[in-house]
Amino acid sequence: MRTTIGYTLESIGYVVGAQGLVSFASQTFFGTEWGWIHKIVDLPSAAYLGILLVGLALIAGGVRTRKAARRQEVA
């Protein structure tokens, strides 16, 4: 079960992080809106970096959860 949760957190983290990165880059460098977050809420560029950090935290949490489950299986 922990392995499934780890993969799920990691997958969500990749999507959230990618959306944060794409939205930040498009707004900062191109002056346009890419991705789907801007369709939900209008945020400044710095907030998209926060979304990127949330995505990275989810990825790290998912990897950590999967590795903990693997260590318990071995033991």
Give the tens place of pLDDT for each residue, 6-59: 889 999 999 999 999 999 999 999 989 888 888 899 899 999 999 999 999 999
3-state class (DSSP) for residue 36: coil
d(CA 5, CA 29): 36
Give the pair of three-digit tokens for residue 34.
């890419």
Q: Give me the pLDDT at residue 73, please.
A: 72
Q: Give me the pLDDT at residue 75, please.
A: 62
Q: Give me the pLDDT at residue 69, please.
A: 73
**DSSP summary character for residue 42:** -
Q: Give me the pLDDT at residue 26, please.
A: 94
* Number of Cβ within a 10 Å radius of residue 44: 10
